[in-house]
Amino acid sequence: MNLRIGQGIDFHRLENGLKLWLGGVLLPSEKGCVAHSDGDVLLHAICDAMLGAAALGDIGHHFPDNSSEFKNIDSIILLKRSFNLIRENGFSIVNVDSTVCLEKPKIASFIPEMRSVIAAILETSADNISIKATTAEKMGFIGKEEGVVALASVLLKK
């Protein structure tokens, strides 16, 4: 079996009054991500990890943030299109592991829903999708609630 690993990372600024989409789920939050798309930092990191595993470039290459086509786009669509690209190249998902680093809100209770949303798009079982969360212990831009980071690793098989 041909196995390929990829990693992805994404950052977004947080501002008051915006919606916070994370893992395809709308979270209750005073702040949301500043972005050209809906700013779903977790889905963007997973897209980049999938594309990276298949050596297909990155999310900015396929979905440029200066294109009106992708303005305010639902990141579920970006994930689906990224998945289609790797599938066209003969790959499927073995597993995804990811970490979201943000100060608040607490996301633990939303993780099961995120896992099932992502698993459905990636045509795999939720058992193959891991989402973890941590804070930055009040340090730096994450700790000051100025931004959010997500990291993802994806293993593909051909």
Question: Between 93 and 150, whose beta carbon lies closer to Zn ion?
Answer: 150
**Which residues are at the interface with Zn ion (CB under 5 A)?**
10, 44
Question: Between 45 and 111, whose beta carbon lies closer to Zn ion?
Answer: 45
Minimum Å distance from CB 2 to Zn ion? Answer: 29
What single letter denotes the amino acid at residue 112? P
Minimum Å distance from CB 17 to Zn ion? Answer: 19
Minimum Å distance from CB 25 to Zn ion? Answer: 16
Question: Between 14 and 138, whose beta carbon lies closer to Zn ion?
Answer: 14
